[in-house]
Amino acid sequence: MKINLLTDAKYHNLALMKISAYHKMCGDQIYLNGVGEFDFTYASWLFDFSEKHPADLEGGPGIDATKRLSGFTNPMPDYDLFPVDYSLGYTWSYCPRKCKFCIVPEQNNPKEHHSIWQFHDSKFKKICLLNNNTFSDPQWKETFEEIWDADLMVRDENGYDLRLLDDEKAEALHKTKWSTPLHFAWDLMKDEKEIRRGLGLLKKHHLSSTHNGVYVLIGFNTTEEENLHRCQVIDDSGLTPYPMPFNRTKKEMAFKRFINLHYYRRSPTIKAAWNDYRAYTMVSDHPASQNRSTMLRGSLQ
């Protein structure tokens, strides 16, 4: 059979990698984002704003957070489907947070811990963890110990929960070899006390670096002043803020662009730099798009 796999994923898609592995074991021919006639087509969409093409079976958060391409439980993904130089998978997919802006709670991920060896191929020296909240896993340290024992570098695209950070976890992050910057998150103002405590632990364990960053949700339930305040606290702590627009208005996108260009480093404070930038660019609040993008916490299937 000729099997076509469709996705809007730029780097990898775990669901399709498992489907590909299954069909290759059955002797089928696999095509990624192929064009033409096929016996069966699967689609896994990550983003609700991406262009969709017809498929016989589809899933992913870009369509429905609860709709998964299930039934392909082989633990070892097909690492030939995408040009990756790392293993890919979950050791813990559950997140205890019930954030209204996030789709992860809708997915009903199980509280199940997995060894990296269920998906890690020893031909790789890097591993990509897709975990939604690693430190909420009671067995989080086993994951790090497996990584250390295998002498692996970690590619992690998700934000670690500063509210769960303690000295042991911070030291584990410091001990680990990373192929990507470390990311954390500050979504809500009510968490300021816990976030500041976590930022202090990062500094204590020598993780405060502009190479590492903190995602800052804007446009959900915070004001402009609160957005500026959070970014300033993060910058003062030695890390880089990364705004995550919720509604994608012109003003939110301009603020994201302003921070990402590090324009604020030209002024004594981020607020002063933003006022100058806003006046120069004449930023308004008109919507940039009628559609709000799906808020993703990490790489979801």
pLDDT tens digits for range 210-251: 999 999 999 999 999 999 999 999 999 999 999 999 999 999
For the cut 80, the answer to whether the pLDDT of residue 289 exceeds it is no
Write the CB contacts of 174 (distance below 8 Å, at least 6 apart in sequence): 205, 206, 207
Write the CA distances from 192 to 93, 186, 265, 297, integer angstroms. Answer: 25, 8, 23, 20
pLDDT at residue 70, rounded to an integer = 66
How many CA atoms within 13 Å lie on the side-chain side of 286? 3
> Per DSSP, which regions of the chain are E strands?
2-7, 29-32, 40-44, 57-59, 87-89, 126-129, 153-156, 159-160, 177-178, 183-186, 213-218, 240-245
Taking only the tens place, the pLDDT of each residue in 136-183 is: 999 999 999 999 999 999 998 788 999 999 999 999 999 999 999 999
The residues pairing with 177 across neighbouring beta strands, listed in sequence order, are 153
Bridge-based pairing state of the strands 2-7 and 40-44: parallel
Write the CB contacts of 179 (distance below 8 Å, at least 6 apart in sequence): 86, 126, 153, 154, 155
- Per the listing, tokens 């804007």 go with 218
Q: How confident is the model at residue 281 (pLDDT cuts 50, 70, 90)?
A: confident
For the cut 50, the answer to whether the pLDDT of residue 285 exceeds it is yes
pLDDT at residue 286, rounded to an integer = 52
For the cut 90, the answer to whether the pLDDT of residue 74 exceeds it is no
Sheet holding 183-186, edge to edge: 159-160, 183-186, 213-218, 240-245
**CA–CA dist 301, 67 (Å, integer):** 9
